[in-house]
Copies of this chain bind each other. A is one copy, B any other.
Protein backbone atom coordinates (compact mmCIF):
# COMPACT_ATOMS: atom_id res chain seq x y z
CA UNK A 1 0.00 0.00 0.00
CA UNK A 2 1.30 3.42 -0.85
CA UNK A 3 -0.30 6.82 -0.57
CA UNK A 4 0.78 10.12 -2.01
CA UNK A 5 0.01 13.64 -0.89
CA UNK A 6 -1.09 16.60 -3.01
CA UNK A 7 -1.04 19.99 -1.26
CA UNK A 8 -3.22 22.55 -3.04
CA UNK A 9 -2.76 26.32 -2.88
CA UNK A 10 -1.03 29.02 -4.89
CA UNK A 11 0.18 30.55 -1.60
CA UNK A 12 2.24 27.38 -1.02
CA UNK A 13 4.04 27.79 -4.36
CA UNK A 14 4.67 31.46 -3.67
CA UNK A 15 6.30 30.57 -0.35
CA UNK A 16 3.80 32.65 1.64
CA UNK A 17 2.98 29.53 3.64
CA UNK A 18 5.34 26.59 4.23
CA UNK A 19 3.62 23.29 3.54
CA UNK A 20 3.91 21.57 6.91
CA UNK A 21 0.77 19.48 6.26
CA UNK A 22 2.50 17.10 3.84
CA UNK A 23 5.36 16.56 6.29
CA UNK A 24 2.93 15.78 9.08
CA UNK A 25 0.93 13.38 6.90
CA UNK A 26 4.16 11.77 5.65
CA UNK A 27 5.29 11.16 9.21
CA UNK A 28 1.96 9.61 10.19
CA UNK A 29 1.93 7.36 7.11
CA UNK A 30 5.49 6.21 7.87
CA UNK A 31 4.45 5.33 11.42
CA UNK A 32 1.65 3.19 9.98
CA UNK A 33 4.02 1.46 7.58
CA UNK A 34 2.34 3.00 4.52
CA UNK A 35 4.82 4.16 1.86
CA UNK A 36 4.61 7.69 0.49
CA UNK A 37 6.75 8.12 -2.62
CA UNK A 38 5.61 11.51 -3.91
CA UNK A 39 4.35 14.73 -2.36
CA UNK A 40 3.37 17.53 -4.72
CA UNK A 41 2.38 21.17 -4.30
CA UNK A 42 0.12 22.63 -6.99
CA UNK A 43 -1.65 25.98 -7.31
CA UNK A 44 -5.41 26.72 -7.40
CA UNK A 45 -5.69 25.98 -11.13
CA UNK A 46 -8.20 23.50 -12.55
CA UNK A 47 -6.10 21.99 -15.34
CA UNK A 48 -2.93 21.60 -13.32
CA UNK A 49 -4.80 20.19 -10.30
CA UNK A 50 -6.62 17.75 -12.60
CA UNK A 51 -3.32 16.60 -14.17
CA UNK A 52 -1.49 16.23 -10.85
CA UNK A 53 -4.32 14.36 -9.10
CA UNK A 54 -4.94 12.10 -12.13
CA UNK A 55 -1.25 11.18 -12.24
CA UNK A 56 -1.25 10.53 -8.50
CA UNK A 57 -4.23 8.17 -8.92
CA UNK A 58 -2.38 6.32 -11.69
CA UNK A 59 0.84 5.71 -9.77
CA UNK A 60 -0.36 5.34 -6.14
CA UNK A 61 -2.96 3.22 -4.33
CA UNK A 62 -4.39 6.15 -2.42
CA UNK A 63 -4.11 9.94 -2.62
CA UNK A 64 -4.63 12.57 0.05
CA UNK A 65 -5.49 16.02 -1.32
CA UNK A 66 -4.98 18.75 1.23
CA UNK A 67 -6.52 22.21 0.80
CA UNK A 68 -8.85 23.96 -1.64
CA UNK A 69 -12.03 23.07 0.29
CA UNK A 70 -12.79 26.59 1.54
CA UNK A 71 -15.81 28.72 0.62
CA UNK A 72 -14.17 31.13 -1.85
CA UNK A 73 -14.05 30.84 -5.61
CA UNK A 74 -10.38 29.84 -5.79
CA UNK A 75 -11.20 26.76 -3.66
CA UNK A 76 -11.86 24.25 -6.45
CA UNK A 77 -10.78 20.88 -5.06
CA UNK A 78 -14.44 19.72 -5.09
CA UNK A 79 -14.82 20.57 -8.81
CA UNK A 80 -11.52 18.93 -9.75
CA UNK A 81 -12.32 15.72 -7.86
CA UNK A 82 -15.72 15.52 -9.56
CA UNK A 83 -13.94 15.75 -12.91
CA UNK A 84 -11.39 13.11 -11.92
CA UNK A 85 -14.29 10.80 -10.92
CA UNK A 86 -16.31 11.73 -14.02
CA UNK A 87 -19.18 12.74 -11.72
CA UNK A 88 -21.42 15.76 -11.13
CA UNK A 89 -21.34 17.93 -8.03
CA UNK A 90 -24.39 17.50 -5.81
CA UNK A 91 -25.30 19.22 -2.57
CA UNK A 92 -24.92 17.00 0.46
CA UNK A 93 -27.85 17.83 2.73
CA UNK A 94 -26.17 16.66 5.97
CA UNK A 95 -23.12 18.82 5.32
CA UNK A 96 -25.28 21.80 4.29
CA UNK A 97 -27.30 21.49 7.48
CA UNK A 98 -24.15 21.28 9.57
CA UNK A 99 -22.67 24.39 7.93
CA UNK A 100 -25.90 26.35 8.41
CA UNK A 101 -26.00 25.36 12.08
CA UNK A 102 -22.39 26.47 12.68
CA UNK A 103 -23.38 29.99 11.64
CA UNK A 104 -26.71 29.91 13.52
CA UNK A 105 -24.96 28.76 16.71
CA UNK A 106 -22.62 31.72 16.54
CA UNK A 107 -25.54 34.07 15.86
CA UNK A 108 -24.05 35.11 12.54
CA UNK A 109 -25.47 35.34 9.04
CA UNK A 110 -24.05 32.79 6.65
CA UNK A 111 -22.54 34.20 3.45
CA UNK A 112 -24.21 32.16 0.68
CA UNK A 113 -20.91 30.95 -0.80
CA UNK A 114 -20.31 28.95 2.39
CA UNK A 115 -22.85 26.44 1.11
CA UNK A 116 -20.38 25.61 -1.70
CA UNK A 117 -18.58 23.63 0.99
CA UNK A 118 -21.51 21.18 1.04
CA UNK A 119 -21.18 20.44 -2.70
CA UNK A 120 -19.60 17.03 -3.19
CA UNK A 121 -18.89 14.81 -6.19
CA UNK A 122 -21.77 12.36 -6.71
CA UNK A 123 -20.59 9.03 -5.30
CA UNK A 124 -18.15 10.51 -2.77
CA UNK A 125 -18.49 9.71 0.90
CA UNK A 126 -18.73 12.71 3.20
CA UNK A 127 -17.21 12.69 6.68
CA UNK A 128 -19.66 12.98 9.55
CA UNK A 129 -16.95 14.87 11.43
CA UNK A 130 -16.68 18.53 10.34
CA UNK A 131 -13.96 20.18 12.46
CA UNK A 132 -14.26 23.56 10.70
CA UNK A 133 -16.88 24.27 8.05
CA UNK A 134 -15.65 21.82 5.36
CA UNK A 135 -16.28 18.07 5.58
CA UNK A 136 -13.70 15.56 4.41
CA UNK A 137 -14.35 13.68 1.16
CA UNK A 138 -13.59 10.09 0.22
CA UNK A 139 -13.78 9.65 -3.57
CA UNK A 140 -13.62 6.26 -5.29
CA UNK A 141 -11.83 6.54 -8.65
CA UNK A 142 -11.85 3.78 -11.25
CA UNK A 143 -8.65 3.30 -13.21
CA UNK A 144 -6.82 0.57 -15.15
CA UNK A 145 -3.82 -1.48 -14.00
CA UNK A 146 -0.74 -2.38 -16.11
CA UNK A 147 -2.58 -5.34 -17.72
CA UNK A 148 -5.69 -3.29 -18.38
CA UNK A 149 -7.48 -4.74 -15.35
CA UNK A 150 -10.01 -2.51 -13.56
CA UNK A 151 -8.72 -1.01 -10.34
CA UNK A 152 -10.48 1.10 -7.74
CA UNK A 153 -8.34 3.73 -6.08
CA UNK A 154 -9.34 6.28 -3.46
CA UNK A 155 -8.76 10.02 -3.20
CA UNK A 156 -9.32 11.67 0.18
CA UNK A 157 -9.78 15.43 0.44
CA UNK A 158 -9.11 17.26 3.70
CA UNK A 159 -8.97 21.00 4.50
CA UNK A 160 -5.62 22.83 4.43
CA UNK A 161 -6.14 24.37 7.89
CA UNK A 162 -3.68 22.25 9.92
CA UNK A 163 -5.85 21.48 12.95
CA UNK A 164 -8.87 20.61 10.80
CA UNK A 165 -6.67 18.40 8.62
CA UNK A 166 -5.24 16.58 11.65
CA UNK A 167 -8.63 15.85 13.20
CA UNK A 168 -9.97 14.44 9.92
CA UNK A 169 -6.79 12.44 9.29
CA UNK A 170 -6.72 10.83 12.74
CA UNK A 171 -10.43 10.14 13.08
CA UNK A 172 -11.52 9.41 9.55
CA UNK A 173 -8.82 9.01 6.87
CA UNK A 174 -6.27 6.91 8.77
CA UNK A 175 -8.76 4.31 10.06
CA UNK A 176 -10.05 3.90 6.48
CA UNK A 177 -6.52 3.66 5.05
CA UNK A 178 -5.60 1.04 7.65
CA UNK A 179 -8.63 -1.01 6.73
CA UNK A 180 -7.86 -0.80 3.01
CA UNK A 181 -4.20 -1.66 3.65
CA UNK A 182 -5.32 -4.67 5.69
CA UNK A 183 -3.46 -3.24 8.67
CA UNK A 184 -5.16 -5.04 11.52
CA UNK A 185 -2.11 -4.55 13.66
CA UNK A 186 -2.02 -1.76 16.18
CA UNK A 187 0.98 0.55 15.76
CA UNK A 188 1.90 2.93 18.59
CA UNK A 189 4.94 5.11 19.24
CA UNK A 190 6.36 6.34 22.50
CA UNK A 191 9.00 9.06 22.66
CA UNK A 192 11.60 9.36 25.39
CA UNK A 193 13.07 12.85 25.62
CA UNK A 194 16.69 12.92 26.71
CA UNK A 195 19.35 15.50 27.48
CA UNK A 196 23.09 15.17 28.01
CA UNK A 197 24.17 12.75 25.30
CA UNK A 198 24.85 13.36 21.58
CA UNK A 199 22.95 11.44 18.92
CA UNK A 200 26.00 9.30 18.16
CA UNK A 201 26.54 8.72 21.90
CA UNK A 202 22.98 7.47 22.30
CA UNK A 203 23.24 5.38 19.14
CA UNK A 204 26.33 3.67 20.54
CA UNK A 205 24.73 2.92 23.89
CA UNK A 206 21.63 1.58 22.12
CA UNK A 207 23.38 -0.34 19.32
CA UNK A 208 22.84 -3.73 21.01
CA UNK A 209 19.16 -3.02 21.60
CA UNK A 210 18.64 -1.77 18.03
CA UNK A 211 20.22 -4.94 16.63
CA UNK A 212 18.06 -7.11 18.88
CA UNK A 213 14.90 -5.30 17.71
CA UNK A 214 15.97 -5.66 14.07
CA UNK A 215 16.06 -9.42 14.58
CA UNK A 216 12.75 -9.58 16.46
CA UNK A 217 10.92 -7.16 14.13
CA UNK A 218 8.16 -6.12 16.53
CA UNK A 219 9.56 -2.70 17.42
CA UNK A 220 11.96 -0.06 16.09
CA UNK A 221 14.01 2.74 17.61
CA UNK A 222 14.60 6.10 15.90
CA UNK A 223 16.39 9.29 16.94
CA UNK A 224 15.01 12.80 16.43
CA UNK A 225 17.11 15.82 17.34
CA UNK A 226 15.43 19.09 18.35
CA UNK A 227 17.17 22.17 19.73
CA UNK A 228 14.13 23.13 21.79
CA UNK A 229 13.01 19.75 23.05
CA UNK A 230 16.16 17.71 23.52
CA UNK A 231 17.17 14.55 21.71
CA UNK A 232 14.25 12.20 21.31
CA UNK A 233 14.36 8.42 21.21
CA UNK A 234 11.20 7.14 19.56
CA UNK A 235 10.13 3.54 20.12
CA UNK A 236 7.49 2.26 17.68
CA UNK A 237 5.87 -1.10 18.34
CA UNK A 238 3.24 -3.18 16.58
CA UNK A 239 1.03 -5.99 17.76
CA UNK A 240 -2.46 -7.46 17.64
CA UNK A 241 -4.01 -5.37 20.40
CA UNK A 242 -3.53 -2.15 22.34
CA UNK A 243 -2.63 -4.22 25.39
CA UNK A 244 0.07 -6.26 23.67
CA UNK A 245 1.60 -3.15 22.08
CA UNK A 246 1.65 -1.37 25.42
CA UNK A 247 3.44 -4.37 26.89
CA UNK A 248 6.11 -4.21 24.19
CA UNK A 249 6.51 -0.44 24.64
CA UNK A 250 6.83 -0.81 28.41
CA UNK A 251 9.48 -3.48 28.08
CA UNK A 252 11.38 -1.53 25.38
CA UNK A 253 11.21 1.69 27.37
CA UNK A 254 12.76 -0.14 30.31
CA UNK A 255 15.50 -1.56 28.07
CA UNK A 256 16.28 1.90 26.61
CA UNK A 257 16.38 3.46 30.06
CA UNK A 258 18.76 0.75 31.25
CA UNK A 259 21.04 1.29 28.25
CA UNK A 260 21.23 5.09 28.29
CA UNK A 261 20.76 5.69 32.02
CA UNK A 262 17.37 6.39 33.56
CA UNK A 263 18.31 9.92 34.56
CA UNK A 264 19.07 10.89 30.96
CA UNK A 265 15.32 10.69 30.21
CA UNK A 266 13.58 13.86 31.30
CA UNK A 267 10.17 13.27 29.75
CA UNK A 268 7.90 10.93 27.83
CA UNK A 269 5.95 11.96 24.71
CA UNK A 270 4.83 15.59 25.14
CA UNK A 271 6.40 16.13 28.56
CA UNK A 272 8.87 19.04 28.38
CA UNK A 273 11.97 19.78 30.44
CA UNK A 274 10.23 22.71 32.09
CA UNK A 275 7.13 20.70 33.00
CA UNK A 276 9.35 17.91 34.39
CA UNK A 277 11.24 20.40 36.59
CA UNK A 278 8.02 22.03 37.81
CA UNK A 279 6.50 18.64 38.64
CA UNK A 280 9.57 17.50 40.60
CA UNK A 281 9.51 20.78 42.56
CA UNK A 282 5.80 20.36 43.23
CA UNK A 283 6.21 16.79 44.51
CA UNK A 284 9.00 17.86 46.86
CA UNK A 285 7.33 21.07 48.06
CA UNK A 286 10.02 23.29 46.50
CA UNK A 287 9.58 26.79 45.02
CA UNK A 288 11.62 28.10 42.13
CA UNK A 289 13.20 31.29 40.76
CA UNK A 290 15.59 32.13 37.92
CA UNK A 291 18.47 34.63 37.79
CA UNK A 292 19.35 35.19 34.16
CA UNK A 293 21.98 37.17 32.38
CA UNK A 294 23.00 35.16 29.29
CA UNK A 295 19.50 33.77 28.71
CA UNK A 296 17.81 37.14 29.31
CA UNK A 297 14.48 35.78 30.59
CA UNK A 298 14.16 32.64 28.44
CA UNK A 299 14.31 30.21 31.37
CA UNK A 300 11.57 32.07 33.25
CA UNK A 301 9.49 32.42 30.07
CA UNK A 302 9.65 28.70 29.34
CA UNK A 303 8.67 27.83 32.89
CA UNK A 304 5.88 30.42 32.85
CA UNK A 305 4.59 29.00 29.56
CA UNK A 306 3.49 25.83 31.38
CA UNK A 307 -0.15 26.16 32.51
CA UNK A 308 -0.33 25.92 36.29
CA UNK A 309 3.32 26.92 36.84
CA UNK A 310 2.39 29.52 39.45
CA UNK A 311 2.29 27.16 42.44
CA UNK A 312 6.04 26.53 42.03
CA UNK A 313 7.47 29.43 40.00
CA UNK A 314 7.72 32.65 41.98
CA UNK A 315 9.50 34.59 39.23
CA UNK A 316 12.99 35.76 38.45
CA UNK A 317 15.48 38.51 37.90
CA UNK A 318 16.92 39.29 34.50
CA UNK A 319 20.27 40.70 35.62
CA UNK A 320 21.52 41.70 32.21
CA UNK A 321 23.69 44.60 33.39
CA UNK A 322 26.51 43.83 35.88
CA UNK A 323 25.19 46.39 38.40
CA UNK A 324 21.89 44.46 38.65
CA UNK A 325 23.90 41.36 39.58
CA UNK A 326 25.81 43.36 42.21
CA UNK A 327 22.95 45.42 43.65
CA UNK A 328 20.01 43.01 43.54
CA UNK A 329 21.65 39.59 43.71
CA UNK A 330 24.66 40.28 45.91
CA UNK A 331 27.32 39.25 43.39
CA UNK A 332 30.64 40.80 44.54
CA UNK A 333 31.84 43.52 42.15
CA UNK A 334 34.26 41.92 39.70
CA UNK A 335 34.09 39.45 36.84
CA UNK A 336 30.57 38.31 35.92
CA UNK A 337 31.56 35.49 33.56
CA UNK A 338 32.50 33.06 36.32
CA UNK A 339 31.02 30.12 38.17
CA UNK A 340 31.35 32.14 41.39
CA UNK A 341 29.11 34.86 39.93
CA UNK A 342 26.59 32.26 38.72
CA UNK A 343 26.55 30.62 42.17
CA UNK A 344 25.87 33.92 43.95
CA UNK A 345 23.18 34.80 41.37
CA UNK A 346 21.35 31.55 42.21
CA UNK A 347 21.66 32.06 45.98
CA UNK A 348 20.81 35.75 45.63
CA UNK A 349 17.59 35.19 43.72
CA UNK A 350 16.51 32.55 46.30
CA UNK A 351 16.97 35.18 49.02
CA UNK A 352 15.31 37.97 47.05
CA UNK A 353 12.22 36.00 46.01
CA UNK A 354 12.07 33.66 49.02
CA UNK A 355 12.36 30.39 47.09
CA UNK A 356 14.02 27.10 48.02
CA UNK A 357 15.47 26.49 44.54
CA UNK A 358 16.92 28.58 41.73
CA UNK A 359 18.80 28.38 38.45
CA UNK A 360 21.25 31.01 37.21
CA UNK A 361 22.97 31.71 33.88
CA UNK A 362 25.78 34.06 32.93
CA UNK A 363 28.30 34.06 30.10
CA UNK A 364 28.99 35.25 26.59
CA UNK A 365 26.23 34.76 24.00
CA UNK A 366 28.25 36.57 21.36
CA UNK A 367 28.98 37.93 18.85
CA UNK A 368 31.60 39.83 20.93
CA UNK A 369 33.91 38.52 23.62
CA UNK A 370 33.43 39.60 27.25
CA UNK A 371 36.01 39.85 30.03
CA UNK A 372 38.43 38.03 27.71
CA UNK A 373 36.12 35.04 27.26
CA UNK A 374 35.09 34.05 23.71
CA UNK A 375 31.40 33.74 22.68
CA UNK A 376 29.97 30.44 23.85
CA UNK A 377 31.56 30.61 27.33
CA UNK A 378 28.69 29.81 29.69
CA UNK A 379 28.51 29.54 33.49
CA UNK A 380 25.44 27.96 35.08
CA UNK A 381 24.44 27.33 38.67
CA UNK A 382 21.64 25.62 40.54
CA UNK A 383 20.65 26.24 44.15
CA UNK A 384 18.66 23.67 46.14
CA UNK A 385 17.86 24.37 49.80
CA UNK A 386 20.86 26.65 50.23
CA UNK A 387 23.35 24.31 48.53
CA UNK A 388 24.75 25.60 45.25
CA UNK A 389 26.44 23.74 42.35
CA UNK A 390 27.85 25.18 39.13
CA UNK A 391 29.47 24.32 35.84
CA UNK A 392 31.30 26.12 33.03
CA UNK A 393 31.07 25.03 29.40
CA UNK A 394 32.35 26.27 26.05
CA UNK A 395 29.69 25.98 23.36
CA UNK A 396 30.70 26.08 19.68
CA UNK A 397 27.33 27.50 18.58
CA UNK A 398 25.81 30.77 17.37
CA UNK A 399 24.10 33.19 19.79
CA UNK A 400 20.58 31.72 19.67
CA UNK A 401 21.78 28.10 19.98
CA UNK A 402 24.04 29.05 22.91
CA UNK A 403 20.99 30.44 24.72
CA UNK A 404 18.72 27.46 23.93
CA UNK A 405 21.38 24.94 24.93
CA UNK A 406 21.93 26.81 28.21
CA UNK A 407 18.21 26.88 29.06
CA UNK A 408 17.90 23.10 28.66
CA UNK A 409 21.19 22.32 30.40
CA UNK A 410 20.62 24.43 33.51
CA UNK A 411 17.07 23.09 33.91
CA UNK A 412 18.40 19.56 33.43
CA UNK A 413 21.04 20.15 36.11
CA UNK A 414 18.31 21.18 38.54
CA UNK A 415 16.18 18.20 37.51
CA UNK A 416 18.97 15.76 38.32
CA UNK A 417 19.58 17.38 41.71
CA UNK A 418 15.87 17.22 42.54
CA UNK A 419 15.81 13.54 41.57
CA UNK A 420 18.79 12.92 43.85
CA UNK A 421 16.83 14.44 46.75
CA UNK A 422 14.55 11.40 46.41
By the criterion CB–CB under 8 Å, are A41 and B42 in contact?
A: no
By the criterion CB–CB under 8 Å, are B316 and A297 in contact?
A: yes
List of B residues within 8 angstroms of A40 by Cβ: 38-41
A36 closest partner in B (C-beta):
B13
By the criterion CB–CB under 8 Å, are A15 and B27 in contact?
A: yes
Query: Chain A 296-325 against B: per-residue CB contact (8 Å), 1 yes, 0 no?
Result: 111111011101011001111111110110
Chain A residues touching B, majority SS: mixed
By the criterion CB–CB under 8 Å, are A52 and B25 in contact?
A: no
Q: Confirm or deny: A87 has a beta carbon within 8 angstroms of a beta carbon on chain B.
A: no
Tell me the A37-72 residues at the B interface (CB within 8 Å).
Answer: 37-43, 45, 48, 52
Q: How large is the interface on A (under 10, 10 to 19, 20 to 34, 35 or more residues)?
A: 35 or more
Query: Chain A 344-381 against B: per-residue CB contact (8 Å), 1 yes, 0 no?
Result: 00000000111000000000001110000000000000
Q: Confirm or deny: A328 has a beta carbon within 8 angstroms of a beta carbon on chain B.
A: yes
By the criterion CB–CB under 8 Å, are A317 and B320 in contact?
A: no
By the criterion CB–CB under 8 Å, are A321 and B316 in contact?
A: no
Q: How far is A15 from B36 in the complex, measured between Cα atoms in Å?
A: 10
By the criterion CB–CB under 8 Å, are A30 and B14 in contact?
A: yes
Give the contact stretch, choosing among A16-24, A112-120, A201-209: A16-24
Q: Given A14-B30, A48-B38, does the pair A313, B320 have CB atoms closer than 8 Å?
A: yes
Q: Confirm or deny: A399 has a beta carbon within 8 angstroms of a beta carbon on chain B.
A: yes
Q: Among B23, B24, B26, B301, point to the contact of A301 (Cβ < 8 A).
A: B301
Q: How far is A377 from B353 in the complex, measured between Cα atoms in Å?
A: 26
Q: Given A39-B41, A297-B300, A328-B352, does the pair A305, B403 have CB atoms closer than 8 Å?
A: yes
Q: How far is A328 from B315 in the complex, measured between Cα atoms in Å?
A: 11
Q: Among B37, B297, B301, point to the contact of A42 (Cβ < 8 A).
A: B37
List of B residues within 8 angstroms of A14 by Cβ: 26-27, 30, 36
Q: How far is A224 from B26 in the complex, measured between Cα atoms in Å?
A: 27
Q: Confirm or deny: A290 has a beta carbon within 8 angstroms of a beta carbon on chain B.
A: yes
Q: Given A38-B40, A315-B317, does the pair A18, B18 have CB atoms closer than 8 Å?
A: yes
This chain's copy number in the assembly:
2
Chain B nearest CB from A103 CB (Å) reads 18
Q: Confirm or deny: A295 has a beta carbon within 8 angstroms of a beta carbon on chain B.
A: yes
Q: Given A15-B27, A25-B15, does the pair A304, B315 have CB atoms closer than 8 Å?
A: no
List of B residues within 8 angstroms of A30 by Cβ: 13-15
List of B residues within 8 angstroms of A42 by Cβ: 37-38
A299 closest partner in B (C-beta):
B297
Q: Confirm or deny: A400 has a beta carbon within 8 angstroms of a beta carbon on chain B.
A: yes
Q: How far is A314 from B328 in the complex, measured between Cα atoms in Å?
A: 12
Q: Given A319-B315, A321-B313, does the pair A16, B27 have CB atoms closer than 8 Å?
A: yes
Q: Confirm or deny: A292 has a beta carbon within 8 angstroms of a beta carbon on chain B.
A: yes
By the criterion CB–CB under 8 Å, are B13 and A18 in contact?
A: no
Q: Confirm or deny: A276 has a beta carbon within 8 angstroms of a beta carbon on chain B.
A: no
Can you sample 19 A-B contacts with CB below 8 Å? Answer: A13-B30, A15-B27, A17-B23, A37-B45, A37-B48, A39-B41, A40-B40, A40-B41, A296-B305, A297-B300, A301-B301, A305-B399, A307-B367, A309-B320, A313-B320, A314-B320, A314-B324, A316-B317, A317-B317
**10 closest Cβ contacts across the A-B interface?**
A296-B304, A15-B27, A297-B297, A297-B300, A297-B301, A15-B23, A15-B26, A316-B318, A315-B320, A315-B318
A295-B301, A314-B321, A316-B317 are known; give 8 further A-B pairs, CB within 8 A: A13-B26, A297-B304, A297-B318, A298-B301, A305-B400, A307-B368, A315-B321, A317-B317
